[in-house]
Amino acid sequence: MRAGALRLLDQMPEVKVAPGTLDGKQVLNLTVGMPAMPGESPQTITIDAATGVPLKLSNGSDGSTTFVVTRISLADVKKGSF
């Protein structure tokens, strides 16, 4: 399902897809150049190239990070470390 969605995004002229690396992982950076609302900055979502799992969402031309996706386990939640 993710592969199909990514192929559709790749066909949209507003979305630029560029390969890259993040923490040693191969990633794809999907950037929307035209802001959805006036005054908004372009946004880039970084996904794992192998799995399609989102890793980071950045906005603005300076690439400031808005969200970083992390994975936790149930044991982490029980310990209160998340």
Amino acid at 76: D
The ranges assigned to domains in the chain are 2-79
Instruction: Check residue 26 and give its pLDDT.
Output: 95
The helix (run of H) or strand (run of E) holding residue 4 is: helix 2-11
Write the pLDDT tens digit of every residue in 23-80.
Answer: 899 999 988 876 556 667 788 889 999 888 888 888 866 666 677 777 788 888 888 8
pLDDT value at 15 more than 80: yes
| Continuous segment of H or E residues that includes residue 31 | strand 25-32
pTM here is 0.67
**pLDDT value at residue 19:** 94
Distances (CA, A) of 22 to 5, 26, 56: 22, 7, 10
Measured between alpha carbons, how far is residue 73 from residues 6, 16, 51, 78, 82 in Å? 27, 33, 19, 9, 9
